[in-house]
Amino acid sequence: MSRSLLHRSGQSRGAELLAEARLPTRVAIAGEMNSGKTWLANGLLGSQVLPTSFVTRTEVPTVVEFGAKSRLVLERSDGSRVAASWEEVEAGTCQGRRLRQRLPSPRLQDLRLVDTPGLGDGDEQMAHRIRCICRSADLVLWCTSALQAWKASERDFWLSLSPRVRDKGLLVVTFGDMLRHDQDAGRVLARLQAEAGLHFRKIVFPAQLFDLLARARLQRAIHSAREPTIAHSPSTPALLSA
């Protein structure tokens, strides 16, 4: 999967394309607290890499990227880096700019995830940082809980991003499995479509997203002989059609 996944495909110069083609797709995951961001990140990674604890919320942005060896590094505010463990993180002793988790997972060869702290606790500085992360991502996954979907505070944050950034956004409806009635999912989706549909590329449930990614990978494998940009593979129109 290349950076040209969502747009720009036609405009980039060849050299740039080549340079970019080697970079994994940068996916930012954002949303309010307890909206299932880390859970979604683990889903995309296919394993329980990041601890999803209900109590200790993700405090600093966590970058998950490919590395030959599995290791966790904390980048302090002064730029220095130290090795860290998830136990320390969960204990809340890790203060810094970001956490960097390297993993030898094959899935990460074309994917670089940034899991961000939950919004909604009034921390303007953090909100500003998350805006920056969204700006530099290729794909922004905004998590909203099916049980309390799309509040004014979510909308306000999302609309504070520029249209260029919003154009890279998918609204991911998490916790759909906790709905009490089968017809509820469709109804939530209908409301989201009406109230938030305009501001996102598409609204999806996590399973659809996992599905699309898996299919995209498959497609890429199949079409790897030909010029293989996912943007043109048969699976992506579903992902991209707004």
Partner 1 sequence: MGFEAPSQLHGGDARRVQPFNRQADAPCQEPIGAPLERARLRIAALLNDLEGMLGEHAAPLLREARRQIDERACRIAVIGQIKAGKTTFINTLIGQPGLLPTDINPWTAVVSALHFRSGVATPEHAAVFQLFSIDEWKQIAKGGGRLRELTERLVPGFQPDLLRAQLEVMRSRSERRLGAKFEQLLGKSHRFKTITPELLADYISAGDPNLQASTTEQRRNYSDITRSADLYFDDSPFAFPITLIDTPGTNDPFLVRDEITRRSLENPDIYIFVLSALQPLSAADVAMIRLLNGLYKDRIIVFINRVDQLANPGVDATIVRRSVKKRLRLEFPNLHIPVISGSAWLGGLEMSSQPASGKEAQFSALVAGSGSPFAAPALATGMSEVAAAITQMMCNSTIAVLLQQIASCLLELVRSDQAGVSAQLQQMQTLFEAERTEVNALQKKIAEEEAALAAFEARAHALRASFEEMQAHFDRTIESGQNMLRSELRSIVRDFAQTSADRLAAAIENGVSTRSWRCNVTPLRSDLETAYLTAFDDLARDVVRVEQFLYPQLQVIVSNLLPGYRGTVLEAPEAPLAGSLSLSALTDRVTMDLDTHWWTHWFRARRSAHEHGNQLRILIENDFLPIVEQLVGDAVDSLRQRVEYTMQRASAIASGLLSGVEQRRQNVAVQAAPLRGSDDVQSAAHRQGEQIARIQKCLEQQATLTASCEELESILAGLDGLQSESARR
- How many residues sit close enough to partner 1 to count as binding (CB under 8 A)? 59
DSSP line for 107-126: GGGSEEEEE-PPB-S--HHH
Q: Is 51 in the site for partner 1 (CB under 8 A)?
A: no
- Which residue, 73 or 185, is less far from partner 1 as judged by CB? 185
122 by DSSP, 3-state: which? Answer: coil
Residue from 82, 178, 221, 242 binding partner 1 (CB under 8 A): 178
Angle between helices 184-196 and 152-159 (to 10 degrees): 40
Q: Is 155 in the site for partner 1 (CB under 8 A)?
A: yes
Cβ at position 73, least distance to partner 1 in Å: 25
Cβ at position 206, least distance to partner 1 in Å: 5
Angle at 77 between CA 164 and CA 98, to 5 degrees: 55
Q: Is 71 in the site for partner 1 (CB under 8 A)?
A: no
Q: Is 120 in the site for partner 1 (CB under 8 A)?
A: yes
Tell me how far apart the alpha carbons of residues 100 and 70 are, in angstroms, rounded to a whole number.
Answer: 10
Q: If you ran DSSP here, which 8-state letter would residue 73 be given?
A: E
Tell me how far apart the alpha carbons of residues 160 and 148 are, in angstroms, rounded to a whole number.
Answer: 21
202-231 residues near partner 1, rule: CB under 8 A: 205-208, 210-211
Binding site for partner 1 (CB under 8 A): 32-35, 39, 42-43, 46-48, 52, 54-55, 120-124, 127-128, 131, 145-156, 159-160, 173, 175-181, 184-188, 190-191, 194-196, 205-208, 210-211
